[in-house]
Amino acid sequence: MGFNEKKLIVVSNRVPYNMTKIRGEVKYKKSVGGLVTALDPILCSRGGLWIGWNGHVGHDRDFKDKIVVGKDCNKKGYSLKFVNLSTNEVKNYYHGFSNRSLWPLFHGFISQSHFNKDYYNFYVKINNRFANSILEEATGRELIWIHDYQLCLVPKALRERSKKDLKILFFLHIPFPNFEAFRVLPWDKEILRGLLGCDLVGFQTARDSFNFLECCKKILGVDVDFKDKKVFYENRKVGVVGFPISIDFDHFNNIAKNKKTDRYLKSIRSFGGDAKVVISVERLDYTKGIKERILAISRFFEKYPEYQKKVVFLQISVPSRTKIKEYIDLKREIDGLVGNINGRFANELWSPIHYLYKALPQQKLAALYKFSDICMVTPLRDGMNLIGKEYASCNVNLDGVLILSEFAGAADEMEKYSIMVNPYDMEEVADSIRRALGLHSSTRKKMMSGLRDIVRKNDIYQWAGKFLNYYNDVS
């Protein structure tokens, strides 16, 4: 069987659907986030199995253990299989080790990382549970593709527990820190050994893959080939590669062009009046630079008062990890900042920041991307960030401008056609808004066409194809 026909088992912390129970009836709704945007279309068209947590605490008998999704639009659809987590497991494995230890550390927020032995013990326990759930399904003929930092120990657990020759791939969606930062983690060796259970480990950028190779060499003392990007480990060769993840360009491009989108656009035509609209969308997370951006917006109106009443910032913050202290504190701070700035600059008819704290359906988002004059993507650190790619795919009139952080993985591909900023530099960000507003339409068109070409050529199918082909070549 060619590797392209092999069954794909995708494994991630969360399945790509949110489940709710309304009057006893369970409803499934596709969730937001980079990983889902990236992998759902691939599994829909190729078929397979996705294993993950359903996002609920405990084992509710109304939620089935397996369901089939994504069969619409002549697609094959695929199965979802659920891993259950108790309250204590969510607290320690998900909120704890995943999101209070690894998440801040990997994004360079070392002082915000909490290293706690209980968190780690639960992380080991749940990674083993995921491994067992995979082993119930794996015959040795599938490709097992594990995703993201919540599951770093699963590859090793699989390798140790199975006598079969499993084909295991891993992709890290967030940055991989450099040696000096990574070695701070008390369980640095365990995480590296966990990942080295794979045949191929993928990262978003060449820099991330270099960091991983260097950590393997310096922390584990194993042989590493930096040129061919391989780690020699326990009589196996582990491939290491940097492939930037993408989105389904055609899907977003088509939504932006369809009639429903235009109807929605008509209904919001009055939004902002004649003002230029600047959009930002992200999960509410301290890595996304929301606070810093709001301060830069305030500086922009202060430094360039002629733009007051002429520009509206649409800030869409999607609620995320709402039980974690750092996220609760950040929400409070952002609420306060938005209030202060609106209080300072608004008049009876205009407010500088229009702030939404909720997720919007894709259709509305696509319409807003099409409609907005500027999109600001200014994370302090981000593995990739797909918002700039979504914006470009939906900006079918070629009149938008992307302001992009140099610390987003997406910068490597998109810097040529974006206005690049250091999100920590408030003056630079404020000036970049003015620069974007002043660009001639021919320049905007050239930049947006450039961005769209990049996303069109390197869409999600290319990414998955390249990753799987690369595995085929090195295996």
**Contacting positions for ligand F6P (CB under 6 A):** 13-14, 33-35, 148, 173-174, 320-321
Tally of CB atoms within 10 A around 378:
26
Q: Which is nearer to ligand F6P, 239 or 379 (CB)?
A: 379
Q: Collapsing DSSP states into helix, strand and coil, what is residue 188? A: helix
* Smallest separation, CB 115 to ligand F6P (Å): 19
* Smallest separation, CB 320 to ligand F6P (Å): 5
* Smallest separation, CB 95 to ligand F6P (Å): 9
Dihedral angle of Cα 461, 102, 207, 15, to the nearest 10 degrees: 0
* Smallest separation, CB 475 to ligand F6P (Å): 25
* Smallest separation, CB 383 to ligand F6P (Å): 6
Q: Which is nearer to ligand F6P, 102 or 426 (CB)?
A: 102
* Smallest separation, CB 34 to ligand F6P (Å): 5
CA–CA separation, 407 vs 379, rounded Å?
7
Q: Which is nearer to ligand F6P, 90 or 419 (CB)?
A: 90
DSSP class per residue in 407-421: TBTTHHHHGGGSEEE
User: What does the DSSP 8-state code read for residue 307?
Assistant: G
Joined together, the tokens standing for residue 49 give 């199995």
Q: Which is nearer to ligand F6P, 197 or 383 (CB)?
A: 383
* Smallest separation, CB 35 to ligand F6P (Å): 4
Residue 81 backbone phi and psi in degrees, to 5: -125, 135
Q: Which is nearer to ligand F6P, 174 or 408 (CB)?
A: 174
Sheet holding 230-233, edge to edge: 66-69, 78-85, 49-57, 8-14, 143-147, 167-171, 200-203, 236-242, 230-233, 223-225
Q: Which is nearer to ligand F6P, 35 or 278 (CB)?
A: 35
10 Å CB burial of residue 364 (0-12, 13-18, 19+) is middle
* Smallest separation, CB 228 to ligand F6P (Å): 28
Taking 3-state DSSP, the helix, strand and coil percentages for the chain, each rounded to the nearest 5, stand at 45, 20, 30
* Smallest separation, CB 78 to ligand F6P (Å): 17
Q: Which is nearer to ligand F6P, 81 or 321 (CB)?
A: 321
Joined together, the tokens standing for residue 296 give 């830069």
Q: Which is nearer to ligand F6P, 13 or 315 (CB)?
A: 13
* In contact, 179 and 208? CB cutoff 8 Å: no
Per DSSP, the chain holds a count of helices (H) and strands (E) of 18, 18
* In contact, 9 and 145? CB cutoff 8 Å: yes
**How far apart, in Å, are the Cα atoms of 42 and each of 37, 225, 264?**
10, 32, 28
CA 425 from centroid of its chain's CA atoms: 24
Residue nearest to ligand F6P (CB): 33
* Smallest separation, CB 162 to ligand F6P (Å): 25
Q: Which is nearer to ligand F6P, 14 or 370 (CB)?
A: 14
Q: Which is nearer to ligand F6P, 133 or 204 (CB)?
A: 204
Joined together, the tokens standing for residue 96 give 């704890």
